[in-house]
């Protein structure tokens, strides 16, 4: 694709801009910012990836992954700000997910140990893990608030924090996993996944593109389950003190 044809694709930005202006939606500024940011961010990533691929250095791969984890943590921690030490809990979760998935992929020689594979797959894994963390933390803090009485009842009857928080925790883990499982049920029927579409457009064999997409889908299932469960079990002790008393947490609604 030449730069001329790429610049023609800006027509797809002009359409929503024109619609927003005509219907007075007031979204012109946000649309423009989003367009400019995506151009700058993606072009920068393109150059960085070219540099990293050419350098063939593991240090740069690690730096790239660390950058992804840092950005994902920064984004997700806002939703769990009421949970003490959420930043470290998120970092630990993302690092564990990354090590687990790359360990399996590289250990079993499913994918080659090159930047070309490690970085995009890490991006998908950490990105998915971040979305799952946000979904989980949102739900968990809401469940904790709405089931305060039940949780305190179980504590008052002699239950431990783990027993008292069991139901809200399980509900939150399940609720955060449902979108991943549901979207996988209709994949290929309703929408073609982005990565697979990209490979097909770039000229890859559709069957090979499907094989890679399946690998990613299965990977994301593990990512989703491990993220919610790990973050859940790391987070719930922060909601109680050493006397097994519930701590007050500040929810988004109270901010």
Partner 1 sequence: MQQANKQNGRAAMGLNHVSYADDDLDIIKDVSGFLPEGKITTFVGPSGAGKTTIFRLLNGLISPTQGDIHLFGENIQTMEPTALRRTVGIALQDATMLRGTVYKNLAMPKTLQNQALEQDEAKHLLTQVGLDASFLNRDVTDLSGGQRQKISIARTLVNRPKVLLLDEITSSLDRISTSEVEHLIQHVNKEFSVTIAWITHNLDQALHIGDYTWVMMNGELIESGSTDILKNPVNPQVQEFIKGEG
Interface residues with partner 1 (CB under 8 A)? 149-150, 152-160, 163, 243-246
Q: Which is nearer to partner 1, 1 or 157 (CB)?
A: 157
- Rounded to the nearest angstrom, the gap between the alpha carbon of residue 107 and the centroid of all alpha carbons in its chain is 24
- Using the 8-state DSSP alphabet, how is residue 237 labeled? G
Angle at 186 between CA 181 and CA 188, to 5 degrees: 125
Q: How far is the CB of 83 from partner 1 (least distance, A)?
A: 19
Q: Which is nearer to partner 1, 72 or 155 (CB)?
A: 155
Nearest in space to 132 (alpha carbons), one of 212, 224, 241: 224
3 state DSSP class of 109: coil
Q: Which is nearer to partner 1, 22 or 242 (CB)?
A: 242
Q: How far is the CB of 255 from partner 1 (least distance, A)?
A: 16
Nearest in space to 106 (alpha carbons), one of 97, 117, 96, 116: 117
Q: Which is nearer to partner 1, 187 or 246 (CB)?
A: 246
Nearest in space to 126 (alpha carbons), one of 118, 115, 136: 118
Q: Which is nearer to partner 1, 65 or 165 (CB)?
A: 165
User: Is 161 within 8 Å of 236 (Cβ atoms)?
Assistant: yes
191 - beta bridge partners?
187
Q: Which is nearer to partner 1, 163 or 211 (CB)?
A: 163
**d(C-alpha 10, C-alpha 226), whole Å:** 39
Torsion of CA 14, 19, 20, 22, to 10 degrees: 120
Q: How far is the CB of 166 from partner 1 (least distance, A)?
A: 10
Q: How far is the CB of 152 from partner 1 (least distance, A)?
A: 6
Q: How far is the CB of 123 from partner 1 (least distance, A)?
A: 41
**d(C-alpha 9, C-alpha 6), whole Å:** 5
Q: How far is the CB of 225 from partner 1 (least distance, A)?
A: 25
Tokens of 24: 């007075």
């Amino acid at each position: 694709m030449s730069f001329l044809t790429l610049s023609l694709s800006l027509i797809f930005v002009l359409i929503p801009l024109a619609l927003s202006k005509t219907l007075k939606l007031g979204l012109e500024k946000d649309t423009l910012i989003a367009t400019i940011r995506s151009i700058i961010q993606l072009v920068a990533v393109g150059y960085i990836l070219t540099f990293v691929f050419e350098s063939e250095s593991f240090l740069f791969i690690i730096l790239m992954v660390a950058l992804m984890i840092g950005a994902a943590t920064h984004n997700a921690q806002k939703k769990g700000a009421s949970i003490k030490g959420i930043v470290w809990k998120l970092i630990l979760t993302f690092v564990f997910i990354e090590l687990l998935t790359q360990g399996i992929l590289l250990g079993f020689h499913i994918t080659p140990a090159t930047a070309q594979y490690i970085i995009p797959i890490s991006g998908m894994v950490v990105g998915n893990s971040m979305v799952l963390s946000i979904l989980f933390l949102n739900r968990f803090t809401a469940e904790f608030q709405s089931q305060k009485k039940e949780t305190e009842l179980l504590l008052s009857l002699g239950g431990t924090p783990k027993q008292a928080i069991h139901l809200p925790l399980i509900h939150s883990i399940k609720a955060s996993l449902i979108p991943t499982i549901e979207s996988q049920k209709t994949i290929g029927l309703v929408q073609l996944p982005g990565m697979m579409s990209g490979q097909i457009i770039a000229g890859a064999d559709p069957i090979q593109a499907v094989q890679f997409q399946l690998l990613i889908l299965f990977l994301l299932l593990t990512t989703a389950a491990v993220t919610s469960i790990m973050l859940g079990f790391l987070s719930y002790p922060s909601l109680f003190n050493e006397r097994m008393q519930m701590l007050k947490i500040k929810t988004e609604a109270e901010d």
